[in-house]
Amino acid sequence: MKIILSFIIFLFCISCNSDKKTNKELDKFNSPNEVLIGAIRWDAWSGGEITRKVERTLGPKKYHHRLPWFSKILNDSTVVIDGSQQEVMDKEIEFASYSGIDYWAFLLYPESESMSYALQQYLKSDQRNKINFCLILHNAFGVNEEQWPKERDRAVALLKEPGYQKVLDNRPLVFAFGLSYQGKNERFADFLKTAHNENLNPYTVFMGWNPLNDYKNESPLGFDAVSAYAMGSDDRTYSQLCERVEENYWMNAATGQVPYIPLITTGWDKNPRKDNPVSWELGDSYHQQDFFPSTATTEEIATHLERGLNFVRNNPKICAANTVIVYAWNEYDEGGWLSPTLGNQNQPVTDRLNAIKRIVE
């Protein structure tokens, strides 16, 4: 009953604030004094073979508390996850907007793949003006030579979409990672050249593991700043993971005085993928880990976020983009999420978003 009452209050607050949110949209997204909050989207939940695999990772009962809010539990070992309906995206926009998240960073997959479906839903939504978006370039770089020009032009065209997140006045924000294997550096250069030919000047951010070294290695390729996608860890607690992120990432950037966007972590627990391995991570070292950090409390996430926002405010020289990036909106089976989970009587559990809202109000 408590969960149901909490959710009713949550929906009432969304209703009361929706017009106000829309009316102040431009002020919110362009204020030089407000640190923007972005959240990474890894959209494995909208159908296709990847969805079948994450249904298996989150199928055991002990992981049901991590299921997306739009899931269905069939029994103690079987779940159905279907985020393909447009109403799911529309409601997620409401959730994110209400909490104070400013933009989603979508991992850009080839347009024909099911992993791109959520981005298509977002672009079709009549609610999309309530939250901005940007791209994380990685997977689209891996297409064959024949497909590449189309994917390059698609990525550049997305930078022109209404609601694309800008920083430093009018520069489209673009993240990228995993450029080490053959051909990706050339394709990133081709992407930049095409964007510049379209009179766009994207602010490009490399997601790596060591800010000082990453900037030295990647800035010659055209990157303006560095950040990270996530941090793996065998720490016992979430608070220890946060300490590691803040010391090894944030302070590394501050010491080296390199342009930086701080990572905010919401966790790292890949036990679901240890129990039911996914094909793209069969050889990864985490399969030998004995421990992962504990599940974060809502207040721990909010406190870590607050420290990250203050880091940006206190380091304006290196944090010129005036934003943080959160891992993640929906990495449910990997261990980092903000999006609501499935609660009792199929009601969304919004505790993490409520905690964020209290920080940004």
On the question of pLDDT at 182 being above 90, the answer is: no
Q: What would the pLDDT profile of 267-303 be if each residue is shown by its tens digit?
A: 999 999 999 999 999 999 999 999 999 999 999 999 9
Which residue is associated with the tokens 């993928």? 273
Domains, the chain, ordered by start: 35-360 (3.20.20.80)
Q: For residue 14, what is the enclosing H or E element?
A: helix 2-23
Q: How far apart are CA 317 and CA 142, in angstroms?
A: 34
Q: How far apart are CA 29 and CA 37, in angstroms?
A: 10
Q: How far apart are CA 240 and CA 142, in angstroms?
A: 35
Averaged pLDDT for residues 250-268: 98
Structure tokens at 214: 């990453």
On the question of pLDDT at 140 being above 50, the answer is: yes
The pLDDT value given to residue 183: 64
Q: How far apart are CA 303 and CA 22, in angstroms?
A: 27
* pLDDT classification of 71: cutoffs 50, 70, 90: very high
Degrees (nearest 5) of the Cα angle 205, 278, 37? 30
* 232 closest CA partner among 250, 244, 246, 247: 244
The pLDDT value given to residue 297: 97
Which residue is associated with the tokens 């990133």? 188
Averaged pLDDT for residues 69-75: 98
pTM: 0.92
Contacts 24+ apart (CB under 8 A), 344-348: 344/3, 344/4, 345/3, 345/4, 346/72, 347/3, 347/4, 347/7, 348/7, 348/69, 348/95
* 25 closest CA partner among 89, 100, 118, 91: 100
Q: How far apart are CA 354 and CA 280, in angstroms?
A: 34
The pLDDT value given to residue 142: 85
Structure tokens at 304: 């870590």
Q: What would the pLDDT profile of 186-227 be if each residue is shown by its tens digit?
A: 999 999 999 999 999 999 999 999 999 999 999 999 999 999
On the question of pLDDT at 22 being above 50, the answer is: no
Report phi then psi at 334, rounded to 5: -95, -20
